[in-house]
Structure 1
Amino acid sequence: MNDFWPVIDVLAHLTGSWRVRRSVRDLASGAEGEFTGGTVFRPFGEGEDGDGDGGSGGGGDRARRGGAGHSGPGLLHRESGTFRWQGVTRPAQRTLRFLPGERPGTASVRFADGRFFHDLDLTDGRYVADHPCAADLYRGEFSVYDEDRWRSVWRVGGPAKDLVLTTDYTRLS
């Protein structure tokens, strides 16, 4: 997979439901784990509690094409599934906020509590972002392969961690 698929509007492109598969490798210990589940990107305000719960999270043709025209304050990203680590499987979930970025078609990714995580610009189909966390550095590489498949690879290095997290996303129809 060497060719990347340019995305005109990252928020419109991500809107919808995705199957998620993540491998986690601890390079120091050799331990490996895996997350499997799904994620939904939906506009703020959709759903029963006003922050994105409870809706179906459909994508629509515009989102699949990655075309311009996303409106609203941003997307709520809800991921849930199971994480298997050292023989133990348990439920796992996370929430992120994807807000319109400084330039049209880009995003500012925030943690659930509003703290900045990283910028995201997929206009070339590929993007590298850094996130310092205490003494560790998270470096994420995002690659879009086509309208229904993308990947993130986070390399986490520092005194506390030495990890590689590879996540493949496949759009659900």
Structure 2
Amino acid sequence: MLKITDFEGTWQISRVITDRLAGQTGQLDGVATFTRTDGNTLAYVEEGTLQLADGPKLQATRPYRWHFGDDVVAMTFADGSAFHSFVPEGYVEGTEHDCGDDTYAVRYDFIPWPRWRAVWVVSGPRKDYTSVTEFTR
């Protein structure tokens, strides 16, 4: 099982977003930085350049908190509200997150460590997209 020290530091990220509702694809390239804030918590901040279809390139940033327990990571939004949790090993599903009528479902692939991937499938009346993020050192 991966530990907090395995994630600390800076990762290159490359994300492909396939938006079925809008009929377009987007790309985000940047970095994700994990910084320890206490004994079992990492502050996660991703920063990058996002381009949706042929639109302009935009600067994007998103913060989260990763709280490491004995065998699970509980991920929260920066304000501390719950997002989802997962076991940091192998090829594993995280818990789903409901946002209004839309549902966020994630699967992590840690098998090719130190490369890893997060695949989000978001569905509902307002959203229908898949987001695949590759993390590399």
Give me the TM-score of the superposition, normalised by structure 1.
0.74
- Cα gap change, 1:105 to 1:16, in 2 (>3 Å): farther
Q: Which structure: larger Rg?
A: 1
Structure 1 runs, 4 residues or longer, greater than 3 Å off: none
Percent identity (aligned): 31
Q: CA deviation at 1:121?
A: 0.3
Classify the secondary structure of the residue corresponding to 2:110: strand
Aligned-pair Cα RMSD in Å: 1.4
1:79 to 46, 70, 77: 46
1:151 to 117, 123, 126: 117
> Are 2:121 and 1:168 equivalent residues in the alignment?
no
Counterpart AA for 1:41: F
Classify the secondary structure of the residue corresponding to 1:12: helix
The answer to which structure has the higher strand fraction is 2
Contact 2:4/2:40, CA 8 A, preserved across alignment: no
Counterpart AA for 1:168: E
2:64 to 81, 96, 109: 96
Give me the TM-score of the superposition, normalised by structure 2.
0.92
Counterpart AA for 2:104: Y
Distance 1:43 1:98 in 2: 9
Gaps of 5+ in 1: 1-7, 46-71
Higher RCO structure, 1 or 2 (CA under 8 Å, sep 6+): 1
Gaps of 5+ in 2: none
Counterpart AA for 2:117: R
